[in-house]
Structure 1
Amino acid sequence: LIADEYIKMSDGTYPVLFVANKGRNVLLGREAVMRKEKMQTNQIVKDDELFERLRALRRKLAQEQGVPPFVVFSDETLREMSGKVPLT
């Protein structure tokens, strides 16, 4: 938004964000903004065994800390970790 000049930042010791004229036109409906929609992709877990091991570790850490497992890591984070295994 800053790069497209819809929002600007004031100068000074404590800069503040504010809506620029271009942004004001959008807010007032005088100008339309086109934005890309995020495409949803199906995630494939490459290594189910690693994912399950990470889930077990998450469960153990959660029990030790006395919190629900999702507080330690979400399933999405575990899937991402299991899909990014280092090769070396």
Structure 2
Amino acid sequence: MQNSWIRPEDIHNYEPWFDVVKLATRMHDSMDRVLDAYCTGKYYGNLLALFEPGFARAIYPYCIDNTKFPSDWLKKQHHVEKIVMSVIIAGVYWI
């Protein structure tokens, strides 16, 4: 499990390792919204609206409500990743 995206609320967790973060805004039709979300560390709305253009439209009318994520979502995700990796390393697979 590996993400190619980081929620604005989780960006501070990466500050010890990175001074700069590259945002996919070059082709985005709402660059101000993306920059505001990551600069403030908060976003209220469809999380897909911050990603590459077209992501939100691709699954319309569904959305990923960013306010529904628990505050410890990133911590829980990393915990699950560690479990999955330990299972893979141990050679145990479930299908």
Fold match by TM threshold 0.5 = no
**Which protein is richer in helix relative to its size?**
2
TM-score, scaled to structure 1: 0.25
**Which protein is richer in strand relative to its size?**
1
TM-score, scaled to structure 2: 0.24
Q: Which of the pair has the greater relative contact order for Cα pairs under 8 Å at 6+ separation?
A: 2
